Amino acid sequence: MILTKKILLCFGTRPEAIKMAPLYHELHKRCFVVKVCVTAQHREMLDQVLDFFGIIPDYDLNLMQPNQTLNRLSAAILSKMDNVLCEVKPDLVLVHGDTTTSSMVALAAFHRGIKIGHVEAGLRTYNKGAPFPEEINRQIISRIADIHFSPTRHATQNLLKEGVSGNSIIETGNTVIDALFWTLNKIEKENYKNNEIDKLKSTIPSQKKIILVTGHRRENFGEGFRNLCEALLTLSQRKDVVIVFPVHLNPNVKEVVFELLSDKKNIYLINPVSYPAFVWLMQQSFLIVSDSGGIQEEAPSLGKPVLVTRTVSERAEGITAGFSTLVGTDKNKIINTIQDILDNFIGFSKLQNPYGCGDASQQIANYLLNLD
């Protein structure tokens, strides 16, 4: 492979942007020519992250549409990316994770004969319906990518079992830990001002145990979210608890959550918050309930237990180490597990995060710098 000089970073969602941001800055420091293309698969939530991390895209495809189907989004990404790739002519395209943006950008680059690097490669559930469509997206990217930046040993083993050459796999840790530490360092400075955090400080009772809740997975739409809300309603009756739920903008989430949990004592339904405000919320929480992959990776560094509202997780390392617990969307299991943590959790005896120590971006940049 030729020495990589011009790199195109492509992403479209808030989680991708968070995880690519530290890599963007690290590549700039190493004097690569870096171009950024965003599809804006998520618009408002993406823009918050770009602003916080100081990233101005060179190309913004602005593809978000209400109730857009995956097929329509995929077709739009393939079509629009063709023009971008022809104009930039990158030596390498870097995509992240498992989104529709990442899989379609990788495919577009492959069609143009451009090398592809996959950040956060090798995560698997081997269940094509969970998470949907992410599991198939990441498997597609693994078939296409030339360089696989694996976050953990487990992810590396997945790739090796699938026949990926070990010479193309670089185990780095996860860049989300880089982003987390960067954010903590920024928001903990005395001169840092954030109106969202100030508002949260004045609104949420600090003397109670905070249960922080998020949810967005398609496989939980409908009954899954109803079960979660009913469990939270039961738990909110505890006098020592306050539930904080930044509600995802997707109508499949928002309508159910507001129907069942609006105007309930000890439950705060809030709009999605910016990344720094969410990191602050994680810091303040006693435990986190979520179907998010990134939160499973970040929480160990903060010493916070996570209940994963999924039946299977591609982030087995956190579960094996005891940082995360799979509870699915079974109402009674959610209630009983949370009750147990609220009453008995006194902290983790070992806080070594299985997803890295915050130097993943440096390791990726080092590899690319020495590539010939």
Decide if 190 is inside a domain: no
Decide if 180 is inside a domain: no
Q: 195 to each of 125, 184, 245, how far by Cα in Å?
A: 39, 16, 18
* CATH code assigned at 315: 3.40.50.2000
Euclidean distance between CA atoms 258 and 97, whole angstroms: 30
Decide if 259 is inside a domain: yes
Most distant CA pair in the chain, distance: 62
Same domain, 223 and 135: no
DSSP 35: E
Decide if 276 is inside a domain: yes
Same domain, 206 and 305: yes
Same domain, 139 and 201: no
Task: Determine the 3-state secondary structure of 5 from DSSP.
Answer: coil
Euclidean distance between CA atoms 369 and 162, whole angstroms: 27
Euclidean distance between CA atoms 10 and 106, whole angstroms: 9
Decide if 181 is inside a domain: no
Phi, psi dihedral angles at 17 (to 5 degrees): -60, -40
pLDDT at 67: 81
> Could you tell me the sign of the dihedral formed by the alpha carbons of 316, 318, 323, 328, in that order?
negative
Q: Identify residue 96 by its one-letter amino acid code.
A: H
Euclidean distance between CA atoms 188 and 145, whole angstroms: 38
Q: The pTM is what?
A: 0.93
Residue 143, C-beta contacts closer than 8 angstroms, at least 6 positions apart = none
Domain region containing 71 = 6-174+356-369
Same domain, 117 and 236: no
Same domain, 124 and 248: no
Decide if 239 is inside a domain: yes
Number of domains in the chain: 2
Same domain, 284 and 141: no
Q: 12 to each of 38, 43, 59, 61, 348, how far by Cα in Å?
A: 5, 8, 11, 9, 35
Q: 198 to each of 186, 195, 204, 277, how far by Cα in Å?
A: 15, 5, 10, 9
Same domain, 207 and 321: yes
Same domain, 274 and 327: yes
Same domain, 144 and 50: yes
Kindly name the residue from 16, 26, 91, 98 that is annotated as catalytic. 98
Kindly name the residue from 96, 124, 138, 248 that is annotated as catalytic. 248
Q: Is 216 a residue of the active site?
A: yes
Q: Is 314 a residue of the active site?
A: no
Neighbours of 326 (CB within 10 A): 16
Q: Is 44 a residue of the active site?
A: no
Tens-place pLDDT, residues 56-81: 999 999 998 888 899 999 999 999 99
Centroid of chain to Cα 105: 18
Euclidean distance between CA atoms 83 and 74, whole angstroms: 15
Q: Is 98 a residue of the active site?
A: yes
Same domain, 219 and 338: yes
Q: Is 143 a residue of the active site?
A: no
Residues facing residue 256 across a β-bridge: none
Kindly name the residue from 16, 120, 291, 297 that is annotated as catalytic. 120
Token pair recorded at residue 293: 């992959």
Token pair recorded at residue 99: 């989104």
E-strand stretches of 228-357: 241-246, 267-270, 287-290, 306-308, 324-326
Same domain, 206 and 324: yes
Decide if 182 is inside a domain: no
Each of the 372 residues of the chain gets a pLDDT tens digit; together they read 445 589 999 999 999 999 999 999 999 999 999 999 999 987 877 899 999 999 999 999 999 888 889 999 999 999 999 999 999 999 999 999 999 999 999 999 999 999 999 999 999 999 999 899 999 999 999 999 999 999 999 999 999 999 999 999 999 999 999 999 999 999 999 889 999 999 999 999 989 999 999 998 888 888 999 999 999 999 999 999 999 999 987 888 899 999 999 999 999 999 999 999 999 999 999 999 999 999 999 999 999 999 999 999 999 999 999 999 999 999 999 999 999 999 999 999 877 999 999 999 999 999 999 886
Euclidean distance between CA atoms 372 and 368, whole angstroms: 9
Kindly name the residue from 218, 291, 310, 314 that is annotated as catalytic. 218
Q: Is 25 a residue of the active site?
A: no
Decide if 106 is inside a domain: yes
Kindly name the residue from 14, 96, 216, 217 that is annotated as catalytic. 216
Kindly name the residue from 16, 26, 91, 134 that is annotated as catalytic. 134
Same domain, 128 and 73: yes
